[in-house]
Amino acid sequence: MADPNNPFAAMMQMGQDWARAVNPALESFTPKGFEALLPTMPKDMMEMFLGKTMNPEGLDAKTRLLVTLAGLTIQGAQAEPQVRLTVRHAREAGASKQEIAETIAVAGLFGGVPAMAKAMELATEAMKEDKS
């Protein structure tokens, strides 16, 4: 039961009650479950949308994804699904495990050791699923 003196708790309770009424399965929803629904884009598709296909003089998809990973790390690796998804996409785009680790380590100089440690943990988790 929500605390009647806390409007945020009451609002959250109403949202949870609504979700249960709409779809009882939403009660056990987790962000990690949603993340599993997002497939890793094929390398060719990433290169088309993120790489040199549309901008021949620009960065390739792998480099863009490593830059994205650095930015997510510097932010404190707060966006856990995005870090894991970016690591999966970077691997698909051709980034080695060493390149991913080095990207996170360099970003750690700007984001701090806790941010770097969290990003390394998330990257390691994402790469465990990696077959290569």
More confident residue, 39 or 84: 84
pTM equals 0.70
Q: Which of 52, 80, 77 is nearest to 64 (CA)?
A: 52
The predicted-structure confidence for 63-98, as pLDDT tens digits, reads as follows 999 999 999 999 987 788 899 999 999 999 999 999
| Domain layout of the chain by residue ranges | 1-30, 38-128
- Are the C-beta atoms of 119 and 104 separated by less than 8 Å? yes
Dmax (CA) of the chain: 59
The predicted-structure confidence for 19-34, as pLDDT tens digits, reads as follows 778 777 666 666 666 6
pLDDT of residue 118: 94
Task: Indicate the Cα dihedral angle 60, 63, 69, 74, nearest 10°.
Answer: -130
Q: Which 8-state DSSP code applies to residue 132?
A: -
Q: Which residues contact 14 (CB under 8 A, 6 or more apart)?
A: none
Q: How far apart are CA 111 and CA 115, in angstroms?
A: 6
What's the Rg (C-alpha) of the chain?
19
More confident residue, 56 or 72: 72
Residue 103, pLDDT above cutoff 80: yes
Residue 9 pLDDT grade (very low, low, confident, very high; cuts 50, 70, 90): confident
Angle formed at CA 79 by CA 44 and CA 13, multiple of 5 degrees: 125
Tell me which CATH homologous superfamily contains domain 38-128: AhpD-like (1.20.1290.10)
User: What percent of the chain stands above pLDDT 70?
Assistant: 85
